[in-house]
């Protein structure tokens, strides 16, 4: 039986997107969630999300009062606002989620948000779009149609037996993140196989 995909977009607390691709996802989202740290900027652009999710400490008092009916506050501090938003969506049946605005500002937050993709992928289909490209978390297999000659980086999270015939340079079982960066697609259909988790970044061309 084919799985039914329920799509949603999350705007996270990093730098607000400027590239046309993540902006299009925001503008065309059928269901839009804002982390509370992104809500003020989103609202200032005339975009009202379906819900605002977080611990409630990063949204202005004015907007907190005005949009109280769509704010979901979770006070626990074991997870960040992005994970709160993802959990909120999963509990409502959304299983195909695009994250934007999750990078920039503090580098430790950026690294944390990117690494969280490897947890989310265990339960849902997810990708993260930045102003520079798209992160795809993977378990065992990656397959996407991309622009020929795009830069492709593989960040290994413990996968073994990595292999592909879709990139210019050969790959192996990298242990350091930098070792899999700055490859290039030799085909439009890029496939990468391995045993375990790895993260693929495809830069916009």
Q: Are residues 69 and 85 in the same domain?
A: yes
What DSSP letter does each residue of 65-129 carry, written as one string? HHTGGGEEE----SS-HHHHHHHHHHTTT--EEEEES-SSSSHHHHHHHHHHHHHHTTTSEEEEE
Q: Are residues 174 and 143 in the same domain?
A: yes
pLDDT tens-digit series, residues 58-117: 999 999 999 999 999 998 888 999 999 999 999 999 999 999 999 998 999 999 999 999
Three-state DSSP state, 178: helix
**pLDDT surpassing 70 at residue 2:** no
Amino acid 76: pLDDT: 83
pLDDT tens-digit series, residues 132-151: 999 999 999 999 999 999 99
Which of the 8 DSSP states describes residue 182? S
> 134: closest CA among 6, 11, 12, 22?
22
Boundary residue ending a domain (114, 131, 148)? 131
Could you list the residue range(s) of the whole structural domain that residue 65 is in? 1-131
Q: Are residues 125 and 138 in the same domain?
A: no
User: Once rounded to an integer, what is the mean pLDDT over residues 20-48?
Assistant: 97
Q: Are residues 33 and 83 in the same domain?
A: yes
Q: Are residues 124 and 25 in the same domain?
A: yes
Q: Are residues 147 and 184 in the same domain?
A: yes
Give me the number of domains the chain comprises.
2
pLDDT tens-digit series, residues 160-194: 999 999 999 999 898 898 999 999 999 999 999 99
Distance separating alpha carbons of residues 147 and 21, to the nearest angstrom: 14
Amino acid 4: pLDDT: 83
Distance separating alpha carbons of residues 169 and 162, to the nearest angstrom: 13
Residues paired with residue 11 on neighbouring β-strands, in sequence order: 34, 100
User: Once rounded to an integer, what is the mean pLDDT over residues 23-28?
Assistant: 98
Q: Are residues 136 and 64 in the same domain?
A: no
**pLDDT surpassing 60 at residue 129:** yes
- Out of 2-11, 145-154, 159-168, 194-203, least confident range: 2-11
**pLDDT surpassing 50 at residue 22:** yes
Q: Are residues 143 and 192 in the same domain?
A: yes
């Amino acid at each position: 039986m084919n799985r039914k995909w329920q799509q949603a977009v999350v705007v996270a607390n990093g730098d607000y997107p400027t590239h046309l691709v993540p902006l299009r996802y925001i503008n065309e989202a059928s269901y839009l969630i804002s982390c509370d740290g992104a809500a003020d900027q989103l609202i200032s652009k005339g975009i009202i999300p379906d819900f605002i999710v977080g611990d409630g400490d990063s949204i202005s008092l004015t907007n907190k009062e005005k949009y109280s009916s769509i704010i979901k506050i979770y006070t626990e501090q074991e997870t960040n606002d992005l994970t709160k938003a993802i959990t909120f969506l999963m509990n409502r049946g959304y299983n195909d989620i695009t994250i934007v605005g999750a990078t920039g500002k503090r580098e430790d937050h950026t690294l944390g948000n990117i690494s969280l993709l490897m947890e989310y992928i265990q339960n849902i289909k997810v990708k993260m779009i930045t102003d520079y490209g798209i992160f795809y978390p993977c378990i065992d297999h990656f397959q996407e149609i991309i622009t020929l000659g795009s830069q492709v980086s593989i960040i290994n999270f413990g996968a073994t037996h990595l292999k592909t015939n879709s990139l210019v340079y050969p790959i192996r079982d990298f242990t350091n993140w930098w070792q899999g960066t700055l490859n290039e697609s030799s085909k439009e259909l890029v496939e990468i196989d391995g045993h375990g988790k790895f993260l693929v970044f495809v830069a916009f061309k």
